[in-house]
Amino acid sequence: MPEPTPATGALQKSSVLVTGATGHLGREVTARLRAQDAQVRALTRRRTGPRPGVESVTGDLTDPAAVRAALAGIDTVFLVWPLLDAGHAHGLVEVLTEVAPRVVYVSSAAIDDRAARQSDPIVQVHADMEALLHDTGLRTVVLRSDTLASNTRGWASQVRAGDVVAGPDITRTAVVDERDVADAAVAAVLGMREGGLDDETYVLTGPEPLGRAEQVSLLGAALRRPLRFEAVPAELARARMLADGRPEQLVEALITASLHRPESHRVTDHVERLTGRPSGTFARWAVDHAADFN
């Protein structure tokens, strides 16, 4: 159960540092923590506007001094690692070890625990981060998330311009609604505080594997338009993403993932285990977010 304060015996609120707080997932987590009356501190790399009930601090996860300051009075960290190199996380992990908060880390469902090396740099950095966190002895719950439905927002400009979504094809996976991942993350944060969760790994998926063409078709149905997906060869996709201004390292990681990440038919009930309800469909996500594509 939550610890009472020494003076009053009253239950203390959870105090949570949310990293990646301005991203699609981080915003959902922040909103849900506030709804649970948790004390929320958002760590962002750039100053943001005020949000009711949220303390914002500016800092970078690669800056140990900034992390140490952001952790003052915090009992749990919701951790999203934003870089493609876990080597830059050693300073972060050292500070976490000193302060010893509980950690909920968002990882990748594509990790193969049997492999010496993962399929692509995106999955590899998650595997490396998991290893770093577990080696410290920190109380850590790992949420291995499948592909987030919110990633499809990257198609918005193409959808507004026409009926074709073009890009590198990706193998089928059980795309998961980021709202379900956020609900699971908050359940993990609160469950760790109450002593019900400790050093566990969950794999969060949607209810069915989907390919890009199926996602585009479902999005078209939500928009009541005949959208279709057009797979683009890797070299052309690379050139287009670089021309759009995406960082070269990220582009190479995305292309490698499109070429080498294996297909996954895995569907789990781990969202339901944590939240008490099954994960939602991509079709429902598309209906709920149709306005983002108009």
Mean pLDDT of the chain: 92
> Phi, psi (5° rounding) for residue 106?
-90, 115
CB atoms within 10 A of CB 66: 18
3-class state of residue 18 by DSSP? strand
How confident is the model over 104-131, as a mean pLDDT? 97
| Residue 56 per-residue DSSP state | E
Tell me the CA distances in angstroms from 31 to 36, 89, 118, 179, 184, one per residue in order.
9, 26, 33, 10, 13
pTM of the full structure = 0.92
How confident is the model over 111-132, as a mean pLDDT? 97
Place of tokens 């057009």: 230
164 or 12, which is more confident: 164
Q: Which helix (H) or strand (E) holds 16?
A: strand 15-19
Angle between helices 234-243 and 248-260 (to 10 degrees): 160
How confident is the model over 34-59, as a mean pLDDT? 89
Q: What is the pLDDT of residue 9?
A: 40
For residue 281, pLDDT over 90 is answered with: yes
What's the N-to-C CA distance of the chain in angstroms?
46
pLDDT tens-digit series, residues 67-91: 999 999 999 999 999 999 999 999 9
For residue 214, pLDDT over 60 is answered with: yes
For residue 8, pLDDT over 60 is answered with: no
Q: What is the pLDDT of residue 158?
A: 96
Residue of 47, 50, 49, 53 lying closest to 33 (CA atoms):
53
